[in-house]
Structure 1
Amino acid sequence: MLFVLLLSLCMTGFAAEKMDDATNDGCAAPTPDRFDKFLAYMGAGVYVLDDPNFTAPDYMYFQKEIMGRNETGIEADRTAAMQYFLDTFGLDFFEEEVDENATSEEFMGPEGACQMAELCDIKGVATFNGFMLDPRNEYRAYVVSEMAAPSVGWMVRDGGWIVNTVEDATLHGTWGGEAGKAVPTGSILVFGDYNVDTGEEPIIIHYQSESPIIPGAEGIMFLCELTHPEFGKGRAQGISVPQTLEDDRAQTNIRNILTFPAYGHPPVV
């Protein structure tokens, strides 16, 4: 329905003119009333999960090649993520225990502190890792208000840092409070960036978990706080319900709505 409405707006002249360029065949979507910015992402990729001929880019590729960070920038981002997980959920990754199977000294920092994300662990409660969303998910921005996204969308390069609980846990911090809130095994927290490839200047939006992501039989719902230097603070609210096709290929099924500000400006009375 949204796309029918946008097409109607284009045809009646309330939005930007239809583009002839095949690389940008969309129209500029209007910003909804009471909001400063609106984006809609979808992921609908179909692929073989265990394809021996494909190696997905890892989190270091995302940090260096997509975000353009050097080692200092990566460490600063990693530290910011750990601080956020500590302040918001009470998980202290500054005092990690290192995987007992890790033998190389290059993985160890001062006093044995974990330096490689894959090895970080908090006494068996949760793990902290870098990640990049597999590009085969075809995660794309199909609507960016006041911009003319093509019908194929703009690729959303998504990556950062992720926490997974490996047993039932009680989280504290500003989210859980002193008493704490219980979460089940497999709960997820994220801290990262959406880097939208527009073909020109990318749109980079920082996100961080507003609350734990708890997988269920029907998929997962996620709520994230957003920050952008121009759009301000906002909210991402989405759902992912992956499917398996009859031929055993994976079918991505992500829908994500981003709004700035989070709930819109209060209506004028």
Structure 2
Amino acid sequence: MKHNYVSSIKKWTVALATGLLLTSGAAMAKKGVTTPDGFESVLVLMGTGTIDKHNPEPHPGVINCDGLICDGEFFQKEIMGRTDAEIAEVAQQAKTFYLERFGLAADDLVANNRATFKSFTLNPDFEYRLQIATGMKAKGEGWIIRDGGFNLTITDPQGVPMAGEMAGRLAKPDDQFLFGSYNILVTNKKGKPKKELVIDYRSRVPAVSDEDGFRLQSFLSSEEFGEGLVLGTILTRDGADETIKVNGRTVISFPAETQLDSFPAFPAFDDKPKSK
């Protein structure tokens, strides 16, 4: 699948920050969420769960959990409804993407103990949920997000030089490359499942892990929304009784960049509210 990748995260970030302060008003105001000018949809995902370090199966069928990350078979088969052949095809698509985008040959790296390639799903106890979406109205508890796919993680302590569209850059130890989907379970007013909203993601740059958590930037593709971009951060800290407190924030926009050529000239940058 070909994606129309954007070339600059900086432009998008500035545009999104500005756009969130603007309102197109009329259409979305009735639902309580406005659509930023220059965009068609903006979604905010949040995860604020508590994970038991010693519970490898937080949900029946979701197994081999190590903190935030669990085995991906349940996601592929039960959530996405894929056969073994279809799962193998998606895995190959991930490897092809890693090669074209980053110049990383997954099979060769794994064979030489320089990286791992695995299917994954996020731990359900992360409580990852869609909280805000223009044009849609979730209740305060949000809509459950099932997040999974394939992950290439660099294990070589010297890192791996990248090529392809990332030529000249180094993939550092513990850098991760993601190829997966958000499967969002949309519910009706009574909390009953209504439909599944699927948004595919592909790493724009390596996702970075450290002692404080995880940061990512990914391209998006959705039949409902088109092409977009996601910026996300997951913070982790140790909780009581061998638990991990997880605090995630993810902002999604469709399209990836604002379509505005210029922004309003008012108010002026140095304006202040008038005194009463």
TM value normalised by structure 1: 0.76
Question: Which deviates further from its counterpart, 257-266 or 152-161?
Answer: 257-266
Q: Distance in 2 between matches of 1:146 and 1:14?
A: 6
Cα shift readout 1:47-104 (whole Å, capped 9, x = no counterpart) = 31112674634311111111111222212111100100111112213557xxxxxxxx
With over 3 angstroms needed to count, the CA separation of the structure-2 counterparts of 1:188 and 1:95, relative to structure 1, is closer
Partners of 1:175 and 1:211 within 8 A in 2: no
Number of the residue aligned with 2:243: 249
With over 3 angstroms needed to count, the CA separation of the structure-2 counterparts of 1:219 and 1:154, relative to structure 1, is same
Q: Distance in 1 between matches of 2:133 and 2:139?
A: 10
Q: Distance in 1 between matches of 2:32 and 2:180?
A: 27
Aligned-CA RMSD value: 2.4
More strand by share: 2
Number of the residue aligned with 1:118: none
Query: Is residue 73 of structure 1 aligned with residue 86 of structure 2?
Result: yes
Q: Distance in 2 between matches of 1:208 and 1:14?
A: 29
Alignment of 1:1-269 (within 5 A): 15-16=29-30, 27=31, 29-51=33-55, 54=58, 56-57=62-63, 58-95=71-108, 121-167=110-156, 168-177=158-167, 180-198=168-186, 199-267=193-261
Q: Distance in 2 between matches of 1:165 and 1:189?
A: 9
Partners of 1:28 and 1:147 within 8 A in 2: no
* 3-state secondary structure, aligned to 1:73: helix
Deviation at 1:222, TM superposition (A): 0.6
Deviation at 1:175, TM superposition (A): 3.4
Equivalences, count: 224
Q: Distance in 2 between matches of 1:51 and 1:225?
A: 32
With over 3 angstroms needed to count, the CA separation of the structure-2 counterparts of 1:70 and 1:155, relative to structure 1, is same
* 3-state secondary structure, aligned to 2:206: coil
Residue ranges of structure 2 left out of the alignment (5+ in a row): 1-19, 21-25, 64-70, 187-192, 264-276
With over 3 angstroms needed to count, the CA separation of the structure-2 counterparts of 1:250 and 1:217, relative to structure 1, is closer
Partners of 2:28 and 2:134 within 8 A in 1: no
With over 3 angstroms needed to count, the CA separation of the structure-2 counterparts of 1:51 and 1:208, relative to structure 1, is same
Partners of 1:165 and 1:185 within 8 A in 2: yes
Partners of 1:88 and 1:172 within 8 A in 2: no
With over 3 angstroms needed to count, the CA separation of the structure-2 counterparts of 1:52 and 1:93, relative to structure 1, is closer
Q: Distance in 2 between matches of 1:127 and 1:250?
A: 24
Partners of 1:28 and 1:146 within 8 A in 2: no
With over 3 angstroms needed to count, the CA separation of the structure-2 counterparts of 1:246 and 1:260, relative to structure 1, is same
Cα shift readout 1:93-141 (whole Å, capped 9, x = no counterpart) = 3557xxxxxxxxxxxxxxxxxxxxxxxx241111110001110100000
Cα shift readout 1:23-57 (whole Å, capped 9, x = no counterpart) = xxxx5523221101111001100131112674634
With over 3 angstroms needed to count, the CA separation of the structure-2 counterparts of 1:175 and 1:245, relative to structure 1, is same
Q: Distance in 1 between matches of 2:133 and 2:239?
A: 30
Q: Which amino acid aligns with 1:32?
A: P
Partners of 1:233 and 1:261 within 8 A in 2: yes
Question: Which deviates further from its counterpart, 168-177 or 156-165?
Answer: 168-177
Q: Distance in 1 between matches of 2:182 and 2:92?
A: 19
